[in-house]
Structure formats: structure tokens, C-alpha cells
Amino acid sequence: MPVDVDPDRLRASGATLDGVSTRFGQALAAFRAELAGFGRPWGSDDIGSLIGAAHDEVSAFAFECFDTALDEIAAAGADLGKMATRYAETEAAITRNLDSLRRMLGG
């Protein structure tokens, strides 16, 4: 089965993922700010301290996961851009080599 790769579409997909990572990063920053804006409504008594500790651990883990996802999305976008460049360069090199061979064979 032949493989048909369109470097322009790959590059566009990479740019789209880059935009997704940018918007996701902005939304994540806004969410962090909103969450921080609530302060510590559970108070500082014994139960409030336990709730606060649990909240801190859970939110730290969640934001670590979100940050990892954000990094992966951005990396995928960059990788698609690089892949598009490599495919275009390879295609150009193949075309040059075939043209050279055709000329050598008198075509």
C-alpha cells in the first residue's frame, strides 16, 4: 500500500497543535489563578488543615499531569513541523537524483 505524505498538511497540523498547546497553557494559567483566588476557604482548624493538605496534594498532582500533557502536545506539534521538513527535503532529493539519472540515461 503506497504512503502519501503531504508536507504542507503535516506542517499545518503541527501549527494547529502548537495553537492548541498555547490555548491550553493559557486556560491552565487562568484556572490556576482562579483556584488560587479562592484562598483557603476550609480554614485552619484541624479538619480544615487536613482538607487543605489533601487539596494541595491532589491539585499538585493534577497540575503536574496537565503540565505534562501540555508539554507533550507542544512537542508533537514541533515534531510534525520537523517531519514535514524532512519529508519535503527527502522528496526534493529523490526528484533531483531521478532527474540526474534520467539525464545520464539520455532521457
Confidence band (pLDDT; 50, 70, 90) for 93? very high
**What pLDDT does residue 106 have?**
86
How do residues 17-57 score in pLDDT, each as one tens digit?
Answer: 999 999 999 999 999 999 999 999 999 899 999 999 999 99
Q: In this structure, how many other beta carbons lie within 10 angstroms of the beta carbon of residue 63?
A: 14
The answer, yes or no, to whether residue 9 has pLDDT greater than 90, is yes
How do residues 82-92 score in pLDDT, each as one tens digit?
Answer: 999 999 999 99
Taking the model in full, what pTM does it have? 0.80
Confidence band (pLDDT; 50, 70, 90) for 79? very high
CA distance 26 to 72: 16
Q: Are 14 and 84 in contact (CB under 8 A)?
A: yes
Can you give the residue ranges of every domain in the chain?
Answer: 7-104
